Amino acid sequence: MPTLLGFDYGSHKIGVAVGQTVTASANPLGTLSNPRGRPDWDRIGRLIEEWEPDALVVGHPFEMNGREANNAEPAKRFARQLAGRYHLPVHLIDERLTTRAAWLDLGAEAARNPLQVDAWAAKLILETWLREQ
């Protein structure tokens, strides 16, 4: 049963989720800090050791008109760094509206704990990729 980790890369935070291909479902794992675009590579490495994913999925930011968003380059750089550090396949997938959907899905819980939003967005990103395979 192949396992994957999904990432919602942001300039200050990175949401993380784990999923598997059999049910094409994912679960949020948490949110990592990303101060000044410097991911917490130690925590990411521990997650990769713990979950032993077969591949990684990173959200690729697009605007509603189909153009890459301003934050697309940092997300793509993060994806390249993941591939280089961990020697795993890394897939990019359109993440349009995932953060908005996460806020809607979580409702009042998102207001109480906004860090959950990034992890939930990572779950949605990963489930989108899993459904498209």
Q: Where do the structural domains in the chain lie, given as residue ranges? A: 3-35+52-132
Superfamily holding 3-35+52-132: YqgF/RNase H-like domain (3.30.420.140)
Question: What was the pLDDT predicted at 36?
Answer: 86
Dihedral of the CA atoms 86, 91, 96, 101 (nearest 10)?
A: -70
Strand pairing partners for 3?
20
Residue 18 to residue 20: CA distance in whole angstroms: 7
Residue 14 to residue 8: CA distance in whole angstroms: 5
pTM for the predicted model, two decimal places: 0.92
Query: Which among 55, 112, 121 has a CA at the least distance from the CA of 88?
Result: 55
Per-residue tens of pLDDT for the chain, all 133 residues: 799 999 999 989 999 999 999 889 999 999 999 988 899 999 999 999 999 999 999 999 998 998 998 899 999 999 999 999 999 999 999 988 888 878 788 788 877 887 888 999 999 999 999 999 8
Question: What was the pLDDT predicted at 99?
Answer: 81
